[in-house]
Structure 1
Amino acid sequence: MDVSTFYALFSATCFTLVGLWWCVTLRDTSWVGDPVRRRAIGGVYLAFLLPALMGLFAQVGGVEEPLVWRVSFVLIAVVGCATTLRLLATDALPAVRALRGGAAGVYVLVALLGLFPGSAELVGLRPIQVVALLLVVLVALGHALVWHFLVHDAA
């Protein structure tokens, strides 16, 4: 698959997930009244929004203008890592802590690839391809957070 096609589909999918998540949060408005749940809701929101934004910047910069995606990915990854670590400090459930820890690690890798794109040569791919794979992992972790949030809330 062409990298620009991947990022177009990926970004659109992530923005759709953001919208679906808001629909889920509207099913029980008491969630936003509880500060702990409100932070968890925001964490899931960012798990889909930040990769969506990275996908948009990858489309704008692409392979032709790597500085655009590299700078934007580093900045967004720093925001994602900082907010994820902040949430990690308040999470009580070990499974959620593990998911958030994994997400923080992925954000660090994305930022490092933006700063040092030559490191992608270790796996034989272009940097923008390696970051694409990491973003897929990040969204999968977001899905796991949604599942855990909904199952734990139902219990």
Structure 2
Amino acid sequence: MDVSAFYGIVSGLSFTLLGLWFVVADRHKDWFLVPVRRRMAYVVALHFMLPGTMSVLSLVAPEIPAVWRIVFALCGVAGVTGVVLIAQALRDEYGRIRLAGITMAVALPIYIFVIVFALAPQASGFTGLQPRQVEAILIAGIILLGLHAAWFLTTEPAPAAERKEATTEA
């Protein structure tokens, strides 16, 4: 498959998942009463928003590598920032690693690799793949982690203290 075709498909998939996530988040307004859940919902959205943005903007000028490289590096920085913020919030709020926290810990190096391969595309040489192919694999990983984080957030019951806080604020 042509890398450009892959990015075309992924941009549509990512924005579709983002739209579906907005519907889910709208049905769980109680998440937004608890800061750590609100942040987690946002990071899940980032896991769909950033791959979609990277994919669609990589198609703008595929013959000019600087375009996709800058976009990927900036989106990678946004992803790292989001993951670090939620990791800190999870640690502060719960004092332990939850399954969703592990997903975020896996996402951090993936976003770092997005930045590395965008800023130093020659680093992909050891893989035998072109830089945009390596980035495509990383983007698929981000989407997969976004799906996992969405699953954890929607199925994991809130701790008793969180449920109590949400009901007293409502």
Shorter-chain TM-score bucket reads over 0.9
Under a length normalisation based on structure 1, what TM-score does the superposition of the two structures give?
0.94
> Residue 49 of structure 1: CA displacement?
0.3
Distance 1:38 1:154, change over 3 A: closer
Q: Which residue is 2:115 aligned to?
A: 111
Q: 1:13-28 to 2 correspondence within 5 Å?
A: 13-28=13-28
| Unaligned residue ranges in structure 2 (runs of 5+) | 160-170
Q: 1:21-36 to 2 correspondence within 5 Å?
A: 21-36=21-36
Matched, 1:12 2:12: yes
* Equivalent residue pairs, number: 154
Under a length normalisation based on structure 2, what TM-score does the superposition of the two structures give?
0.86
Q: Contact conserved, 1:11 with 1:52, CA < 8 A, in 2?
A: yes
- Quick one: which of 127, 130, 137 aligns to 1:126? 130
- Quick one: which of 121, 135, 139 aligns to 2:139? 135
SS for the counterpart of 2:74 is helix
| Unaligned residue ranges in structure 1 (runs of 5+) | none
State the superposition RMSD in angstroms: 1.4
Q: Contact conserved, 2:121 with 2:131, CA < 8 A, in 1?
A: yes
Letter matched to residue 144 of structure 1: H
Q: Which has the larger radius of gyration?
A: 2
> Residue 94 of structure 1: CA displacement?
2.9
Q: Contact conserved, 1:61 with 1:67, CA < 8 A, in 2?
A: no
Q: Which residue is 1:67 aligned to?
A: 66
> Residue 28 of structure 1: CA displacement?
2.5
Name which structure has the greater RCO, CA cutoff 8 Å, separation 6+: 2
Identity %: 34
Matched, 1:98 2:97: no
Q: Which residue is 1:57 aligned to?
A: 57
